[in-house]
Amino acid sequence: MNHEEFADNHFIRTIIEDDLKNGKYQSIITRFPPEPNGYLHIGHAKSICLNFGLAHIYNGQCNLRFDDTNPEKESDEYVRSIMEDVQWLGFKWAGEPHYASDYFEQLYQYAEHLIEQGLAYVDELNADEMREYRGTLTEAGKESPYRNRTVTENLDLFRRMRAGEFEDGSKTLRLKIDMASGNLNMRDPVIYRIRRVHHHRTGDQWCIYPMYDYTHCLSDAIEHITHSICTLEFEAHRPLYDWVIEHVDSPSTPHQYEFSRLELLYSITSKRKLNQLVQQQYVSGWDDPRMPTISGMRRRGYTPAGLRLFAKRVGVSKSENVVDMDVLEGAIREDLEHTAPRMMAVLRPLKVEITNFDESKIQGKTAAYHPEKPEFGERELKLAPTIYIEADDFAIDPPKGWKRLVAGGEVRLRHSYVMKCEEVVQDSNGNITALKCSIDYDTLGKNPEDRKVKGVIHWLPENTAVKAQVRLYDRLFTEPRPDAVRGEDGEYRDFIEFLNPESQTVITAFVEPIAQTLQPESHWQFERLGYFVTDRFDHKENAIVFNHTVTLRDTWKKK
């Protein structure tokens, strides 16, 4: 991995370079801080490449930290999946993974310090009352009737909250900042709430948990993060981030920088909505190849290098980052072009009988597995009395410009002879069931001398073709922004309405015999058809399963 793999000069790199040049820092420390409440998605992949990439470029370090302050939605399953995704993308975090829960006692002590300074108080307003007191963007909020409790009373109540004396939700700890602030995040935000929920790491040790905004900045400070990078929706939270750091005895003073989050068209990146797809079984799981999760894209056949290339191409800025799916697929395609060996496969087979087949005249031809990679090896392809071709490569009434097989017409079989269709076999309903064709024995590796044959099609001999299950994929949604479509009443429509019923098709196809020897996650190009990968979990020697990764070229815009 080299520096050129990451996004070119952008505003965060400029800031870091100035900080290093001016001696503000001797080295940088970044962090990737996911909440372990779901699987990572394409937006996280961009963030991973940014945070780990900056550490790589400037010889710093990047921490992996789990912001695990909401035990109701968190689990070890998500922790494991996140670590696996980061490593699969090609990155290593500094030391052991960090957890916000590592700092629970320290965060609690900071909270007591804030109470002692008269900067935090125990409140008893319920959620509805708190919302009412908070005010609006145009109206100042009202102070809670509990805001002016004494330090002694607040300390006593907070310690009793920790001891489990009060019911869930009955009390909170709030910062005492400014109920008239123009920034709603500064209107006495809650920093602790009572929740009797088993935590995936601390068990039942705690019944009060710190809020994200309070925890995140202090975790950064404890880890001496120099550049805390997050997406733009946290820009309005930065004053609170700075306020907390300023008013505790912070071990360091990190600074938050924001960049625009990635929006991928024909997809969604809301963990809640992705979880809904999983729980309601619209997809087979978080790693369904149609999902924009890293584990789903991995199973689809996307590669780490391809995803890193995509992250570089979309760049880092504060402007809107809406990206068409073809940009992602183009990056994957570019990587696979150079790394995936070739084989022939027939997805929708049409049987062809070679009417003039003569074993004594048939010659095989050696074909490389990759035209530019001799180290990938080669195999011999030899015609048989019966072969399979793609049904789509034959037409009785061809459209204008057709360069494949027609009745009475000729076409070249890839790596083999020129073949002519002599007869079309149809059933009583007019469906084509087979073709009878002849070959020109003088055309192996050369063109006919007396005529021009334009088209080339792929094929497989019946006697060696191997059956495989092939899963074909299309966009998961029919709308570019499925969660941003409004109805006539102005309300957002349910994104589930826009699920593409044809996003997955499972077929039985034929592939070359080498498929029987492949390991899971083997990437191949099916010649003329696209890139495919053996399924990570379902592919076995006696049960070949390929997932369609991406087409050979962008075909979506033509639809």
Structure confidence by residue, pLDDT tens digits, 514-529: 999 999 999 999 999 9
Report whether 539 contacts 520 (CB < 8 A). yes
CATH of residue 303's domain is 3.40.50.620
502 in any annotated domain: no
Please say which residue of 210, 225, 258 terminates a domain.
210
Q: Do 36 and 74 form a contact (C-beta atoms < 8 A)? A: yes
Whether residue 276 is contained in a domain is answered as yes
Residue 199 lies in a domain: yes
For residue range 438-449, list pLDDT tens digits in order. Answer: 999 999 989 998
- Residues 244 and 316 occupy one common structural domain: yes
* Residue 168 pLDDT: 97
Among 443, 517, 432, 464, smallest CA distance to 345 is for: 464
Domain range for 76: 11-100+214-331
Helix (H, G, I), strand (E, B) or coil at 521: coil
Q: Is residue 343 part of a domain?
A: no
Q: Which pair of structure tokens corresponds to residue 332?
A: 């994957």
Nearest to 101 by CA among 72, 80, 71: 71
Tally of structural domains, the chain: 3
Of 32, 77, 397, nearest to 216 (Cα)?
A: 32
Residues 129 and 94 in one domain: no
| CA quadruple 516, 517, 523, 524: dihedral sign | negative
Assess contact for 515 and 500: CB atoms under 8 A: no
User: Quick one: pLDDT at residue 20?
Assistant: 98
The residue from 181, 210, 239 where one domain ends is 210
Say how many C-beta atoms besides its own lie within 10 A of residue 428's C-beta: 5
Angle CA(336)–CA(337)–CA(339) in degrees, nearest 5? 55
Q: Which of 427, 457, 487 is the last residue of a domain?
A: 457
Which residues form the catalytic set?
A: 35, 261, 271
- The SS3 assignment for 532 reads strand
- Asked if the structure places residue 518 within a domain, the reply is no
pLDDT at 269: 94
Do residue 365 and residue 319 come from a single domain?
no
Per-residue pLDDT tens listing for the chain (559 residues) = 888 889 888 999 999 999 999 999 999 999 999 999 999 999 999 999 999 999 999 999 999 999 999 999 999 999 999 999 999 999 999 999 999 999 999 999 999 999 999 999 999 999 999 999 999 999 999 999 999 999 999 999 999 999 999 999 999 999 999 999 999 999 999 999 999 999 999 999 999 999 999 999 999 999 999 999 999 999 999 999 999 999 999 999 999 999 999 999 999 999 999 999 999 999 999 999 999 999 999 999 999 999 999 999 999 999 999 999 999 999 999 999 999 999 999 999 999 999 999 999 999 999 999 999 999 999 999 999 999 999 999 999 999 999 999 999 999 999 999 999 999 999 999 999 999 999 999 999 899 988 999 899 999 999 999 999 999 999 999 999 999 999 999 999 999 999 999 999 999 999 999 999 999 999 999 999 999 999 999 999 889 999 999 999 865 454 4
The answer on 169 and 294 residing in a single domain is no
Contact 290, 504 (CB under 8 A): yes
Query: Domain holding 364: CATH number?
Result: 2.40.240.10
pTM for the model stands at 0.95
Does residue 401 sit in the same domain as residue 324? no
Distances (CA, A) of 422 to 84, 355, 415: 56, 9, 21
Does some domain include residue 540? no
Residue 151 lies in a domain: yes
Phi, psi dihedral angles at 467 (to 5 degrees)? -75, 145
